[in-house]
Each structure stands twice: as structure tokens, then as C-alpha cells.
Amino acid sequence: MGARWPAGSRAVSDDAPGAPVLTAHRAGLVGCRSCGRVWPDGQETCNRCGADLVPPDRRGLQKVWAWWFAGLIMYVPANLFPMMRTQTFAGLQGNTEATILQGVVELIHYGNYDIAIIVFVASIIVPIAKFLSIAWLAVVAGQPATVDQAHTRLKIYEVVEFIGRWSMIDVFVVAILSALVQLGFVASIHPGPAAVSFALSVAFTMLSAQSFDPRLIWRGLPLRSRTDDKGQE
Amino acid sequence: MDAQDTFDLTTGRGLMACPRCDAMHVEAELNSGETLRCIRCGGVLAKPRGGAFSQLIALAFTSMVLMMGAIFFPFLEISRMGIGNATSLFGVAMAFADGVLLPLVLAVMAMIVGLPVLRSFLLVYTLTPLAQGRAPYRHAATAFRWSEELRPWSMAEIFVIGTAVALVKVAGLATVHLGPAFWAFCALILVNLASRGFMCQTTIWDAIEDGSLPTDGREMAGGVARGE
């Protein structure tokens, strides 16, 4: 070949339209998920980057589910226990404990709607949407799909992977507030047990999303379904 | 076939598989500024940029310097009724230091300071010889792989948004002043964004593999899915 492909090029001169895409798996090879190098099937580590080579296989989903359940279990105390404890005037004026949801309600109460929305989205909507998306992806992975469905699933996977870390906002907020608001008698803020379980829940779901192999999305595809898929024979 | 000697379907030499959908592509040379997308899923496979290695090294150094400032200068200061408190980044992490929350200190510290610094260091280690067209240092592949694997866990930009939320929450309780460390952190995010624009993993992997060949700005991977 040796040709230089122009930017964003999909089409290649000598290939007939509608031909199947050759995947590494189908060719009896295994592709490295870390650096993209292709090795013969059965090789266990990539000689270029040293990463473990894993064929696209539904068995990998066990790891996804394991982290998923771990994350879900930690998500329960994260919502039931207080995120932080605020003490004003040595507890005389108030000694409040707020869970995640109460924190949001408090922000709304003081009229900080924009910040309330950020916290609500980052700590409640995103984690729940993440649990649902990962579970759905893991259930449908490897099942037959059309190309459009596969593209939708890949998009969802990319969004989940991108957005997962942003749930850590609440943990950082608690950390900053507890470090900052140490005014002795006047006011002080201490972190609650939910901070730890929430951080763990976010970490576990991140690991769950990372364990998911997006190549599984494409495994169930019929081979000749897209006109601009190029290949030979 | 003209490409018969450039790749090998039994050993995988000269081929590249899309990490997102497994479609195979034949490696080919790309010009600087071109972007190669996977023919199947459309994900970016390579986007070599001329002089990217030197830029990445410079940006990694910048982020290390900014991180030093961010650690040692005061981050936020508050005061109310004559009682004030200033905190640095260490102070933020140490907020969890009592009792069972201790592991969280280490995690928070790692995510906002440790990993960004470590990643910058690993990147400089990997790219310095490559930018000069020399053979990579020992374990450069491992260093770069770790740098990439740790990417989602370095959360400096999330921390800054967290600061904004914290400022609003504390505004009713006391007066807040932003310290130099806060601005260093904001600059750090811009540096990271710039660094991401220059980053092309495929180019770096090829440069590591090709050893001393000067591949900066050029790209060895690219091409097309093919049948036999």
C-alpha cells in the first residue's frame, strides 16, 4: 500500500464498496488494546507496549459485573450517611449533617440554583445513569446489532468513560471545605463517612467501565451491512 | 498485490487493530496534520503533528512547575469575625487525615497532585530521547503505557470545578480569598488541554518501536482494513 491517506479518509482506492471489514479476531490475530499492534492469536503480552493481550470475549464481562456490583454496594451508604458535618458556634447555632441529597436541597434553599444543578448532576444523575448504561452495555454486548446500533452503543460507552470521573466533584468539595472551614469556635466542617463510600463507588464504576471491552459491541454485527465499509474480497 | 510485503497476516507485522472495534488497518505513513480515522467505528487512530514531541516535553515541564507552585502557595483563605484560615493543597488532602478516612487522603492527594506529576515525568522520560532522534531509554514502553493508563485517574480539572462549588457553599459562612495556587491550578488545566491536542499515542508507540528512526511529525501507522 504505502499510500498517504488524506485527513479523515475512510475510502481507499482499490476496494469494492460493501466488502466486509476484516477484524484482527477474524483473521486469527489479536490486537493490543493499549497500542494497537497486532499479534498472532494466543500470544499473551504485547511485545511493543507490554500490555496483556485479551481477545474480544464475553468472559471479560465478568470483571465488568464484579466492579459494577462493588460500585453499587458502595453507592448505598454513600447516599444514606452524611457527606459532611457543619458546626457553627461550637454547635450552639447549629450542628448539621448533610447527605448528598440534603446538600443539594440546601443549595437550592440558599438560591444557588446553578451550583445545585452541577452537584445534582455530578453526584446523583451521573452515577445512576452510569450504573444503568454499563449494565445495559454489558447485557447487549456481543448480541447481533445493526451498524447504527453499534455506533450508538460505542457513543454511550465513550460518554460513560468520559463522564465517570466527574462524579468525584463532590468528594473534592468535601475535602476543600473541611480543610478550609476550620475556624475553631466560629465554624468548622468535618467530612462524613459517605465521602469515602462515594469516592469508592465512583472509583469502582470507573474500573467497571474500563474493564468493558468496546470491541464486543461489534462482535455481533452482520458482516455486509454498510456501504462505506471498505475491504477486499 | 502491491502491499504484499508491507504486512503479514500470520504474524501481524505491519498491521494495526482499532482498539475500539478491532478492525484491522495496514500501516502507512501519514503526513503531519493528517488525522486517520477507523474505517469501521470512526474513532481517531492517529493524528501526527509536526514537532509534537518537543511540544509535549515543554508542556510536561510547564505542568510540573505549575504543580510545584500549586502545592506550596496558599490555595484558599477564608476569614470570619477576625478568625482566619489559609489552606494549601496538602491541607485539603489532610482534611481526611483523621482515623478511618486516612486512605482517602492518599487517594485525593494522588489524584490531584501525585498522578499529574508522575504522568508528566513519565512523558518526559519517554519522549526526550525520541524528540532528539535517539533510541528510547530502557523501559520507555512501560513508562508510556503507565502514563496512558493513569490518565483517567489524574483529576486536576475536576478538582478546580470542585473548588468553584466549594466557594459558593462557603460564601455565606465566611469571606474567601483565592490564593496563587488556585490560579496555578487553572493554568494547569489549559496546559493539559494543549498537551492533549498534541498527543498522538500511535505516533509515540511507533517511535518507541522504531527506536532511533526520526519519526517526529511523521506517522508509520495508518491505512485500511483488507481481506486476504
Best probe of the A interface among B165, B201, B209, B228, by most A CBs < 10 A, is B165
Q: Which of B20, B153, B227 sits opposite A215 (nearest CB)?
A: B20
Give a yes or no: residue B210 inside a domain: no
Give a yes or no: residue B212 inside a domain: no
User: Are residues A110 and A186 both part of a single domain?
Assistant: yes
Higher pLDDT pick, B27 / B184: B184
In whole angstroms, how large is the CA radius of gyration of chain B? 22
Question: What is residue B60's three-state secondary structure?
Answer: helix
User: Are residues B30 and B58 both part of a single domain?
Assistant: no
The band of A13, judged by pLDDT with boundaries at 50, 70 and 90, is: very low
User: Are residues B95 and B156 both part of a single domain?
Assistant: yes
Give a yes or no: residue B207 inside a domain: no
What are the CA-CA distances from residue A137 to residues A58, A130, A213, B172 (Å)? 12, 10, 10, 43
User: Are residues B57 and B20 both part of a single domain?
Assistant: no
Question: What is residue B120's three-state secondary structure?
Answer: helix
Number of domains forming the structure of chain B: 2
Give a yes or no: residue A226 inside a domain: no
In the prediction, which pLDDT does B58 show? 93
Q: What is the CATH number of the domain that holds A154?
A: 1.20.140
Torsional sign, CA A9, A10, A12, A17: negative
Contacts of B196 in chain A (CB under 8 A): none
User: Are residues A90 and A127 both part of a single domain?
Assistant: yes
Is some CB atom of chain A closer than 8 A to the CB atom of B152? yes
Is some CB atom of chain B closer than 8 A to the CB atom of A214? yes
Higher pLDDT pick, A184 / A7: A184
**Mean pLDDT of the region A168-192:** 80
User: Are residues B4 and B62 both part of a single domain?
Assistant: no
| CB atoms B21 and A217 under 8 Å | yes
Per-residue pLDDT of A56-66, as tens digits, reads: 888 888 999 99
- B99 to chain A: closest CA residue: A193
User: Are residues B56 and B161 both part of a single domain?
Assistant: yes
Instruction: Tell me the C-alpha distance between B128 and B135, whole Å.
Output: 10
User: Are residues B134 and B174 both part of a single domain?
Assistant: yes
CA distance A114 to chain B (A): 10
User: Are residues A82 and A183 both part of a single domain?
Assistant: yes
The band of B154, judged by pLDDT with boundaries at 50, 70 and 90, is: confident
Is some CB atom of chain B closer than 8 A to the CB atom of A94? no
- A164 to chain B: closest CA residue: B152
In the prediction, which pLDDT does A184 show? 66
User: Are residues A188 and A111 both part of a single domain?
Assistant: yes
Give a yes or no: residue B31 inside a domain: yes
Higher pLDDT pick, A92 / A111: A111
CB A138 within 8 A of CB A119: no
Give a yes or no: residue B54 inside a domain: yes
Q: Which residue has the cell 468535601?
A: A174
pLDDT of residue A150 exceeding 60: yes
Q: Which of A82-86, A157-161, A171-175, B127-131 has the highest mean pLDDT?
A: A157-161
Is some CB atom of chain B closer than 8 A to the CB atom of A193? yes
In the prediction, which pLDDT does B226 show? 38
Q: Which of A86-90, A195-199, B29-33 has the highest mean pLDDT?
A: A195-199
> Domain limits at B136?
50-199
User: Are residues A22 and A97 both part of a single domain?
Assistant: no
Give a yes or no: residue B59 inside a domain: yes
Q: What is the CATH number of the domain that holds B146?
A: 1.20.140
User: Are residues B81 and B116 both part of a single domain?
Assistant: yes
> Domain limits at A26?
14-55
Higher pLDDT pick, B166 / A91: B166
User: Are residues B40 and B75 both part of a single domain?
Assistant: no
- A148 to chain B: closest CA residue: B41
Number of domains forming the structure of chain A: 2
Q: B150 Cβ partners below 8 Å, 6+ apart?
A: B115, B118, B119
Interface of A with B in 6-35 (CB under 8 A): 6-10, 12, 15, 19-25, 27, 29-35
User: Are residues B13 and B111 both part of a single domain?
Assistant: no
Higher pLDDT pick, A194 / B31: A194
What are the CA-CA distances from residue B201 to residues A33, B111, B208 (Å)? 12, 22, 10
Nearest to B34 by CA among A91, A6, A93, A192: A6
User: Are residues A65 and A38 both part of a single domain?
Assistant: no
User: Are residues B195 and B180 both part of a single domain?
Assistant: yes
User: Are residues A121 and A170 both part of a single domain?
Assistant: yes
User: Are residues A114 and A179 both part of a single domain?
Assistant: yes
Q: Which of B42, B78, B159 sits opposite A181 (nearest CB)?
A: B78
Query: Of A22, A37, A55, which marks where a domain is finished?
Result: A55
| CB atoms A49 and B17 under 8 Å | no
User: Are residues A44 and A84 both part of a single domain?
Assistant: no
**Mean pLDDT of the region B91-98:** 69
In the prediction, which pLDDT does B44 show? 85
User: Are residues B93 and B187 both part of a single domain?
Assistant: yes
Give a yes or no: residue A195 inside a domain: yes
User: Are residues A32 and A93 both part of a single domain?
Assistant: no
Give a yes or no: residue B209 inside a domain: no
Is some CB atom of chain B closer than 8 A to the CB atom of A175? yes
User: Are residues A34 and A84 both part of a single domain?
Assistant: no
Best probe of the A interface among B15, B224, B228, by most A CBs < 10 A, is B224
Per-residue pLDDT of A116-146, as tens digits, reads: 888 888 888 889 999 999 999 998 887 777 7
- Does the ipTM surpass 0.90? no
A43: exposed, middle or buried (C-beta count within 10 Å: 0-12, 13-18, 19+)?
middle
In the prediction, which pLDDT does B98 show? 66
Is some CB atom of chain A closer than 8 A to the CB atom of B150? no
User: Are residues A19 and A128 both part of a single domain?
Assistant: no
User: Are residues B3 and B63 both part of a single domain?
Assistant: no
Give a yes or no: residue A6 inside a domain: no
Per-residue pLDDT of B138-151, as tens digits, reads: 888 889 999 988 98
**Mean pLDDT of the region A195-201:** 90
Query: Of A6, A35, A55, which marks where a domain is finished?
Result: A55
Nearest to B220 by CA among B212, B207, B211: B207
